């Protein structure tokens, strides 16, 4: 059994991190992130499989903050030097570069692109660097943060996500695609078009204007304009066929629920569409909103959208919170014993990580949520391998901030498990 079938390309957050990132397109190779190129199997991730090799940052214990309010995510230490490593078949390692990097890696042609922290005067910035896959020819492309790639161009942001640029790997030129006074959220790069959302303040609150623009910098156009919400709206978007689907609404922070969520569907060329899940009244308080995660599946001749209702008394990933299943053509809905999460986004059910690698609806088991040291956290999926962190974490209740719990990191093993054979190996420890 192989998890490397090629599906049609598109748009990640991963990330890893993501934070994120990285937003799913219809049909792409398993393991690819939300905005990956076709060549590497998870281009833009913390572990990138390209050819016969795997590329990643090998870090030390000093690379991460000791304490965090998220038990599965500790912030990087900006001044720590880590090693960009190439893992060859058989386990041999080659260090390609040393620098203050720890995040995602993107590969175009024979070069790897990555971000480094740099101290300029008294301020830390993020800059994009590149080397060959053999470790030579280092180039600094300038300040910015990588958003994704379309297989030829590196898409990145500048000026606090108020500018989107494209670096052409063939001409070695960087082009300004769009800029403005508002924050921009990258969705996908596809067919020489960039899809993004622009956060805009209005008299009624905030809204995200969904836009598209040619890679050559032609004037952008508004594809879809949803209603305004109380706070800055959260979006999760996915291109599926000729349509863009996006959850949209205001995240209610301390209550831990998606307060006022709907799901939008509109044509990626014309913008024609509207709200397909939830109601516009859901933006007011007192309603049971739609969770921001959703899943799209082709069943016979129809496409079905799955999502979960969200609320304080509903456990998100539980068989006790069945998904809503809707035929997007007829609008008919029913209940389904199904976990609605996006492709390549791992989730935990009954103490185990699962993932959808495509739109078949098959839940692929990955690893246990608890490891030998304590917590397992999935970092990336590349080919038939899942990469994860097995970390010992202790609670520090005396340092809690309000309802948020403080955790202290002890040590970790960075491992990978073959999804098919179950073989597990440790890559490094810190």
Res 66: pLDDT: 85
Percent of the chain with pLDDT over 90: 38
CA quadruple 38, 41, 45, 48: dihedral positive or negative? negative
Q: Helix (H) and strand (E) counts for the chain?
A: 0, 32
Which of 376, 374, 373 lies closest to 365 in space, CA to CA? Answer: 376
**What's the rounded Cα separation, in Å, for the pair 309 and 153?**
38
325 within 8 A of 338, measured Cβ to Cβ? yes
Nearest CA to 186 out of 219, 152, 141, 149 is that of: 149
pLDDT over 90 at 306, yes or no: yes
pLDDT of res. 271: 95
**How many Å apart are CA 31 and CA 34, to the nearest integer?**
10
Measuring CA to CA, which residue among 101, 43, 39 is closest to residue 76?
101
Which phi-psi region, left, alpha or beta, contains residue 253 (left: φ > 0; alpha: ψ -120 to 50)?
left
Short-list 26, 72, 46, CA closest to 381: 46
Q: Using one digit for the tens of pLDDT, what is the confidence trace for 259-301?
A: 557 889 999 999 999 888 876 554 544 445 677 789 999 988 8
pLDDT band at 250 (very low <50, low <70, confident <90, very high): low
Q: Over the stretch 109-137, which tens digit does the pLDDT of each residue have?
A: 899 999 998 888 888 889 999 999 999 99
Mean pLDDT highest for which of 15-24, 134-143, 159-168?
134-143
d(Cα 362, Cα 364) in Å, to the nearest integer? 6
* Mean pLDDT along residues 234-239: 86
| Helix, strand, coil percent content, the chain, rounded in steps of 5 | 5, 50, 45
Indicate if the pLDDT at residue 204 is higher than 60.
yes
pLDDT bin (cut points 50, 70, 90) of residue 71 is confident
pLDDT tens figures, 332-345: 999 988 988 999 89
Does the pLDDT of residue 173 top 50, yes or no? yes
Q: What is the pLDDT of residue 293?
A: 84
Contacts 24+ apart (CB under 8 A), 373-379: 373/410, 373/411, 373/412, 373/413, 374/410, 375/71, 375/72, 377/72, 377/73, 378/346, 378/353, 379/16, 379/45, 379/46, 379/47, 379/414
Selected residue with higher pLDDT from 262 and 256 = 262
Alpha-carbon span 270 to 285, nearest angstrom: 32
The pLDDT value given to residue 61: 81
Using pLDDT thresholds of 50, 70 and 90, give the confidence band for residue 88: very high
Q: Do residues 291 and 312 make contact, with C-beta atoms less than 8 angstroms apart?
A: no
pTM higher than 0.75 for the full model?
yes
Residues 321-374 have pLDDT tens digits of 788 899 998 989 999 889 889 998 999 988 999 999 999 999 999 999 988 878
């Amino acid at each position: 059994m192989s998890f490397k079938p090629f599906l049609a390309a598109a748009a990640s957050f991963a990330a890893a991190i993501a934070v994120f990132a990285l937003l799913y397109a219809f049909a792409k190779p398993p393991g690819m992130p939300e905005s990956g190129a076709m060549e590497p199997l998870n281009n833009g991730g913390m572990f990138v499989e390209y050819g016969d090799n795997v590329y990643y940052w090998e870090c030390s214990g000093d690379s991460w903050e000791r304490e965090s309010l998220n038990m599965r995510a500790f912030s990087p230490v900006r001044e720590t030097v880590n090693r960009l490593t190439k893992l060859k078949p058989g386990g041999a390692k080659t260090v390609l570069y040393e620098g203050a990097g720890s995040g995602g890696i993107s590969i175009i042609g024979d070069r790897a692109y990555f971000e480094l922290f740099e101290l300029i005067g008294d301020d830390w910035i993020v800059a994009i660097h590149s080397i060959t896959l053999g470790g030579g020819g280092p180039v600094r492309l300038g300040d910015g943060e990588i958003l994704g790639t379309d297989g030829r161009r590196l898409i990145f942001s500048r000026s606090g996500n108020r500018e989107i640029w494209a670096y052409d790997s063939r001409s070695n030129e960087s082009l300004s695609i769009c800029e403005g006074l508002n924050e921009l959220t990258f969705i996908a790069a596809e067919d020489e078009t960039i899809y993004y959302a622009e956060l805009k303040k209005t008299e009624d609150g905030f809204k995200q204007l969904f836009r598209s623009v040619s890679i050559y910098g032609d004037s952008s156009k508004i594809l879809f304009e949803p209603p305004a919400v109380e706070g800055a709206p959260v979006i999760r978007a996915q291109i599926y066929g000729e349509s863009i689907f996006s959850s949209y609404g205001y995240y209610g922070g301390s209550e831990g629920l998606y307060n006022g969520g709907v799901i939008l569907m509109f044509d990626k060329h014309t913008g024609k569409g509207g709200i397909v899940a939830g109601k516009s009244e859901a933006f007011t308080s007192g309603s049971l909103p739609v969770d921001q995660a959703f899943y799209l599946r082709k069943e016979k001749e129809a496409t079905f959208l799955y999502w979960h209702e969200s609320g304080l008394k509903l456990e998100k990933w539980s068989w006790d919170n069945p998904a809503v299943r809707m035929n997007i053509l007829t609008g008919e809905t029913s209940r389904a014993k199904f976990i609605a999460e996006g492709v390549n986004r791992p989730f935990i059910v009954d103490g185990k990580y699962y993932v959808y690698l495509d739109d078949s609806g098959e839940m692929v088991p990955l690893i246990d949520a608890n490891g030998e040291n304590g917590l397992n956290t999935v970092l990336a999926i590349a080919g038939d391998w899942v990469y994860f962190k097995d970390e010992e974490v202790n609670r520090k209740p005396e340092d809690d901030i309000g309802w948020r719990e403080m955790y202290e990191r002890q040590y970790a093993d960075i491992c990978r498990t073959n999804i098919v054979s179950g073989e597990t190996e440790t890559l490094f420890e810190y």
